[in-house]
Amino acid sequence: MRSDPGAIINQISLRNGHPGEGLSHTSFSNDLCPRPLSDNKFKDLSFYVVRDDLLHPVLNGNKARKLDAVMPILQENSVTDVVTCGGCQSAHAAAVAVACSERGIRPHLLLRGEQPEISTGYNLISMLYGDITYIPRSEYAKRDEMLSMHASLVGGQDGSVIFTIVLDAGTGTTAVGLAIGAVCLGLQKKEKVLISDFKRICEPKYQASALNGLDDGMVQWVDRIYPRRFGRVKKGEAEMCRHIARQTGILLDPIYTLAAWEHAVCLCRPEAEDRSNVIMLHTGGTLNMFGLAQRYKPHFQV
């Protein structure tokens, strides 16, 4: 478990810019000594960023939080090896490799597809910390069988104040985890989540049952401001990440955290409905920029 579960909080102030003009016409400033949330009565245009991306030098913020709960269980049960899987640039696989290695547990990573010519980003971290096996896509499609077979090879047959929280989500597990935490603490809040594939993959009845009937509208799935296919970078998004990084010192990635930033900006404007103190949870993901820069070279040329 982390000795200090807290995270740095930055306050981002907006200048210029109007609704509908996009972020390129908006200037940002980063107040490293933010005013207390209780003192910010919507007098200025600003929102807060919880810097979970700084929890660990390598792990993603949300991955660090999830593994912080899992790793002690593995240690208590004297687990020696962990087998997991993911894509070639899987943030999950890299996080598991780092977290396991830090605790003396051997990580075995099954990565989909072929070994890249040049290892970079999360793939490089996975290679440095874990034991990688590249799995053909046809075999990877049968994930349960694949994991079971490789686990057997490793371990043998026997096995051994009103706030609006904004985050981007792929599977939605981070959002559900936050909501469950709020329920356990008795916080009757609502959490806005930018969702990509979760609503398409999971039927409404499964979304509702994810909280075992405790949802009560706490998690509100909202569409991205700019719809996209997962993993695709659109024109201008890399430049927007540079724009924000230069003005605030906060590095975003085009796939996830930029979308959360865009929504946080909209929610803190005067014309926003149900105005409240807006908190964006920065979940990390910046190592993904290395892989994106290779895949989408024109977007990253100065």
* Crossing angle for the helix pair 288-295 and 237-248, to the nearest 10 degrees: 140
- Ramachandran sector of residue 226 (left: φ over 0; alpha: ψ -120 to 50; beta: rest): beta
- The answer as to whether 68 is a domain residue is no
| In a shared domain, residues 168 and 147 | no
Could you tell me if residue 72 is inside a domain? no
Same structural domain for residues 144 and 172?
no
Domain boundary among 105, 137, 155: 155
pLDDT at 196: 46
The number of domains in the chain is: 2
Whether residue 192 sits in one domain with residue 172:
yes
Q: Is residue 253 situated within a structural domain?
A: yes
Q: Give the domain CATH number at 143.
A: 3.40.50.1100
Q: How many CA atoms, within 13 angstroms, populate the side-chain half-sphere of residue 191? A: 25
Tell me, what's the pLDDT at 206?
52
pLDDT at 71: 93
Residues 168 and 47 both lie in one domain: yes
Same-domain pairing of 96 and 134: yes
Identify whether residues 44 and 186 lie together within a single domain.
yes
Same-domain check for residues 171 and 273: yes
| pLDDT value at residue 211 | 46
238 is a domain residue: yes
The per-residue b/e assignment along 57-72, b for 16 or more CB within 10 angstroms, e otherwise, is ebbbbbbbbbbbeebe
| Predicted pLDDT of residue 92 | 92
- The pLDDT of residue 159: 52
For residue 240, what are its two tokens?
């927007």
What Å distances lie between residue 128 and 69, 70, 97, 147, 295, CA to CA?
Answer: 24, 22, 9, 21, 21
* 75 lies in some domain: no
Do 131 and 181 lie in one domain? The reply is: no
- The reply to whether 172 and 148 lie within a common domain is no
Active site residue 90: yes
The active-site residue out of 90, 101, 119, 196 is 90
Give a yes or no: residue 35 inside a domain.
yes
**Which residues on neighbouring strands pair with residue 10, listed in sequence order?**
49
Q: For the chain, list residues with pLDDT below 70.
A: 1-4, 17-21, 37-43, 156-163, 169, 185-219, 226-231, 302
Q: Is the Cα torsion angle 16, 19, 21, 26 positive or negative in sign?
A: positive
**Domain interval for residue 95:** 80-155
H/E stretch holding 265: helix 257-267
Residue type, 165: I
Q: Tell me, what's the pLDDT at 33?
A: 76
In this structure, is residue 94 part of a structural domain?
A: yes
Q: Are residues 229 and 115 both part of a single domain?
A: no
Where does a domain end: 155, 174, 204? 155
Q: Is 98 exposed, middle or buried (0-12, 13-18, 19+ CB in 10 A)?
A: buried
- Is residue 3 domain-resident? no
pTM exceeds cut of 0.75: no
Judge if 254 and 178 occupy the same domain: yes
Domain C-terminal end among 99, 124, 155: 155
Q: Is residue 105 a contact partner of residue 69, using CB atoms and an 8 Å limit?
A: no
